[in-house]
Structure 1
């Protein structure tokens, strides 16, 4: 998925907790998570992609990722996007 979009994604990790990130190349980023190349998730594998959201603007993607990591964003994510 390499194009002019930025993606915010939610992973379900083996510890049953979400990981949220952003990237411009979703397939490459997921591969790095799966291989253990990302320190934040290397000890939390296997991972499953739960959801992703595309943005045409990098800064909108960053703001949405930041929101999802806030208290109200985590509550929204747990209710709507992340399946436990």
Structure 2
């Protein structure tokens, strides 16, 4: 039941490169599969920055909301939001 529920969402996610310490933000319909693709070097834009840790994700009800949210999280204010949201993660 729950697995089917997650198939109805698009996910906006943030990866932390354990190689260079930088973050990557994207969106996908299938988060486990997309994360695996990043880890296995099958995503052109991140293949030289592996390995990754998934540090944040949120679900959206449709693709339009996910793309808007992804764009927002890449802005100055979006990065500030993530910094505040993940403050305890980054400060230990």
Asked if these proteins are the same fold (TM beyond 0.5), I'd say yes
Select the structure that is richer in helix: 2
- CA deviations 1:7-61 (Å, max 9, x no partner) are 0000000211110000000011011000001111111111000011011121111
Deviation of 1:79 (Å): 2.3
In structure 1, list runs of 5 or more residues that go unmatched. Answer: none
RMSD after superposition: 1.6
In structure 2, list runs of 5 or more residues that go unmatched. Answer: none
Q: How many residues align?
A: 84
Provide the TM-score with structure 1 as the length reference.
Answer: 0.90
State the partner residue of 1:11. Answer: 15
Provide the TM-score with structure 2 as the length reference.
Answer: 0.83
Higher relative contact order (CA 8 A, sep 6+): 1
Deviation of 1:81 (Å): 3.1
Give 4+ residue runs of structure 1 displaced > 4 Å after superposition: none
Deviation of 1:75 (Å): 1.5
Deviation of 1:71 (Å): 1.0
Select the structure that is richer in strand: 1
Please say which structure displays the higher CA radius of gyration: 2
